[in-house]
Structure 1
């Protein structure tokens, strides 16, 4: 089934919808959904390891949940959370953090995206994806350890596999999706503002 995305000009004004493949070939700006899950009871950040079939950065670690908004979706859609993590929740359970623009380039692809980044605070998180082909694994990382990793204080951290196969049970910084700096630091700064209040 052909997927269509809403596209935007340099001023981020909507200018129609186009086939996803064409959007990525022609470098049209489009919005994507990001959500970081914090498991409050275990003080852990949840990460996703991307499937081996992904066009960009297969088997790299990423935010807990990521995906494109289809052209018929509003920015309050939580479809990706349902598909990738098995979480059936409404948008008002999420905390909006920030928008972050990024560009990814590879032969035949110019991916220009605006990530709408959110936080979900849970207790005792247990993933049950309905689209397992979208992900390789879902893992939990100690909150303070992940903070040390993204601020370059350590080179690797231990992981607990919650779903799928995580192999060696550790994350090396270079295995994170290489998002434009300072994505991880900016996101973590916003997350910490909420976590420290718990």
Structure 2
């Protein structure tokens, strides 16, 4: 039997007030703590960001594009322990010191019985990583795609109906490279407030 994940519970001021297992937290809508790592880079004057493609085996939002690497922080973990997600999901060996902090952001994502209220500790890895360098945890992540940061912002704000993405998905154990166009429905429905704050902070960092 799989051991339950125990997470800390917080109030809306990011003060710890208790602990509970992950199932209870998501069913009752308790605020909890997560680690988000976005990977982005500047290429010939254009800001680009990587999205992971969630595996079709995921219980929540299978087959949708999402934060480059992310996960819950357990009750006993520090924020810096979240760096494990980058290696587990993407196969990239980094240290916490490689990341640039973008702040702690609040986000609510409600989908049927899932009430996901997160204090998200958001970080940026500013690096152009060749697609060949990603070694994915296939039960979690099915691919990696890059998109223009300005395009993603326009998609969220309704200025565009679809945007181009380039990347790969794993098919029968091999990387299949794809160039496509996707609508906002292809992404995990994160709050637009969260996404636009992240985009602004990534852009500011890339243009320093």
Q: Judge same fold: TM > 0.5, yes or no.
A: yes
CA 1:19–1:141 in 2, change beyond 3 Å: closer, same or farther? same
Aligned twin of 2:134: 127
Query: How far has the Cα of 1:68 moved from its partner?
Result: 0.8
Whether the 8 Å CA contact 1:40–1:124 is kept in 2: the answer is: no
Residues of 1 paired with 2:12 and 2:102: CA distance? 22
**Please, which runs of 5 or more residues in structure 2 have no aligned partner?**
none
Deviations 1:54-107 (A, max 9, x none): 333222211111211122221012011011111111111111112222223344
Residues of 2 paired with 1:7 and 1:179: CA distance? 21
- Aligned partner of residue 135 in structure 2, secondary structure: coil
Query: How far has the Cα of 1:190 moved from its partner?
Result: 0.6
**Please, which runs of 5 or more residues in structure 1 have no aligned partner?**
none
Aligned twin of 1:18: 20
Residues of 2 paired with 1:106 and 1:95: CA distance? 31
Q: Normalising by the residue count of structure 2, what TM-score does the alignment of the two structures yield?
A: 0.83
Aligned twin of 1:142: 148
Total equivalences in the alignment: 196
Query: How far has the Cα of 1:168 moved from its partner?
Result: 7.0
Query: How far has the Cα of 1:193 moved from its partner?
Result: 0.6
Alignment of 1:61-140 (within 5 A): 61-77=65-81, 78-125=83-130, 126-129=133-136, 131-140=137-146
CA 1:105–1:149 in 2, change beyond 3 Å: closer, same or farther? closer
Q: Normalising by the residue count of structure 1, what TM-score does the alignment of the two structures yield?
A: 0.86
Query: How far has the Cα of 1:120 moved from its partner?
Result: 0.6
Residues of 2 paired with 1:136 and 1:124: CA distance? 17
Deviations 1:28-71 (A, max 9, x none): 11011111101345753100122223333222211111211122
Q: Does 1:180 align with 2:191?
A: yes
